[in-house]
Amino acid sequence: MEFFLITLLNSLSYGLLLFMLSSGLTLIFSMMGVLNFAHASFYMLGAYFAYQTGLVVGFWPALFLAPLLVGIVGAVTERYGLRKVHQFGHVAELLFTFGLAYVIEEIVHIIWGRAPVDYRIPESLDFTLFTLYNTQYPAYRAFMMIVSVGMLISLFLVLTKTRIGMIVQASLTHPHMVQALGHNVPRVFMLVFAGGCALAGLAGVLGGNLFITEPGMAFAVGSIVFVVVVLGGMGSLVGAFIASLLIGAIQTFSVALDLSFIDLMTALGVTIDPDSGWYGGLSITISQTAPVLPYLLMVLMLIVRPRGLMGTRES
């Protein structure tokens, strides 16, 4: 029970972090039709910016400054990069972000070096929030959850209740009509792209010190975010939300479970000869399969339901 509750809480905070990443990706995708390959790179930039600005002004201002800076980088990327390649089609846009991911990683190498930087949880949040049975639950994880949920609620409110949110939503489906009504649709696009990048940056600020801030962090999280988006259904925010929590749970639980097929057989009263050829394959534990599980889930989903959990169209 103790294990279950703690792991559940951990998976929840991880899942919410994933959703912060995938929501930005989904917004950008459903609006501009661009799959942003560099999305995880913006997540990485968020962590590094928070580290660097945090050195000067401390963690709390950095929490706001870093996503803002990432948003500005995103806006510049859209204005001077993506908008230029837009005329060549979606594949060119996708490839542009793909190349950008390389360049951002190398720039991070140049500025901060290849080794991880010492980006730490602030002291004011570095305490135990409560003790469940015998396990201490860190306050920072709870803080992360609060920020994510707060962020998501405000995103939801902005999108549905404000004027600018209405324009964004209208531009999603009827860009030409919105343009005809006198709104600057390209600027809306830029805003959405910057906003999505800022969300990824915020996730980086929160995740960078909990996990580790190093140049490889973008690649590590990038493909998981894609799995989330495919699983949830491309372009669906609700789907992305469910898939994020699901993937968060799967990854957190499977890493912690040190059971193998052999254990199951032993529990059922069947013994397997350690010398037999099958032993090696059967003795793989669930925690060893952890890195594969999200992708396996994605493949299964594609076979059973190609449009994903909440997707509305096939392609």
Partner 1 sequence: MNDMFNKGRLVLWSFVALIFVVLPFIFSGGFSLSMLSQMGIMIIFVLSYNMLLGQTGLLSFGHAVYFGLGAFMTAHAINFVEAGTLGLPISLMPLIGGLTGLCFGLLLGFVTTRRPGTPFAMISLGIAEMVAASALMFTTFFGGEGGIVTNRTAGGAVWGVSYGPQIQVYYLIAVWCFLSMVLMFAITRTPLGRIANAVRDNPERAQFVGYNPTRVRWLMMSLAGFFAGIGGALATINYEIITAEALGLMASGNVVLMAFIGGIGQFWGPMIGAVLVTLLQSALSNFTQAWLLYFGLLFLLIILYSPGGISNLISIHVPVWRAGLIKKLLPSYGYALLTGFVTLLGVVGGIEMLYRGTLFGGINDGTTWVIAALLICVGGFFLKRAIGSVRRVWEDMSPDLARWV
Helices 90-112 and 39-57: angle between axes, nearest 10 degrees: 30
- Decide: is 190 part of the binding site for partner 1 (CB under 8 A): no
- Decide: is 1 part of the binding site for partner 1 (CB under 8 A): no
Rounded CA separation 310/314 (Å): 11
Please pick, from the candidates 81, 165, 175, 186, the single residue that binds partner 1 as defined by CB under 8 A.
81
Nearest distance in Å: CB 83, partner 1: 11
Token pair in block for residue 245: 């929590």
Q: Which amino acid, one-letter code, is at 120?
A: R
- Decide: is 200 part of the binding site for partner 1 (CB under 8 A): no
Can you tell me whether residue 135 is helix, strand or coil? strand
- Decide: is 116 part of the binding site for partner 1 (CB under 8 A): no
Q: CB neighbours (10 Å) of residue 243? A: 29
- Decide: is 279 part of the binding site for partner 1 (CB under 8 A): no
Are 19 and 149 in contact, with CB atoms under 8 Å apart? no
Residue found by looking up tokens 């549905």 in the block? 160
- Decide: is 284 part of the binding site for partner 1 (CB under 8 A): yes
For the CA atoms of 135, 136, 138, 143, the dihedral, rounded to the nearest 10 degrees, stands at 80
Residues 14-43: x where in contact with partner 1 by CB under 8 A, - otherwise, as a string:
---------------x---x-x--------
Please pick, from the candidates 7, 30, 169, 289, the single residue that binds partner 1 as defined by CB under 8 A.
289
Size of the site for partner 1 (CB under 8 A): 50
Please pick, from the candidates 56, 111, 267, 268, the single residue that binds partner 1 as defined by CB under 8 A.
111
Residues 6+ apart with CB under 8 A from 122: 58, 59, 60
Token pair in block for residue 290: 């952890």
Nearest distance in Å: CB 45, partner 1: 15
Contact set with partner 1 (CB under 8 A): 29, 33, 35, 52, 81, 84-85, 88, 90-92, 94-96, 98-100, 102-103, 105-107, 109-113, 219, 223, 226-227, 229-230, 234, 280-281, 284, 288-289, 291-292, 295-296, 298-299, 302-303, 306, 314-315
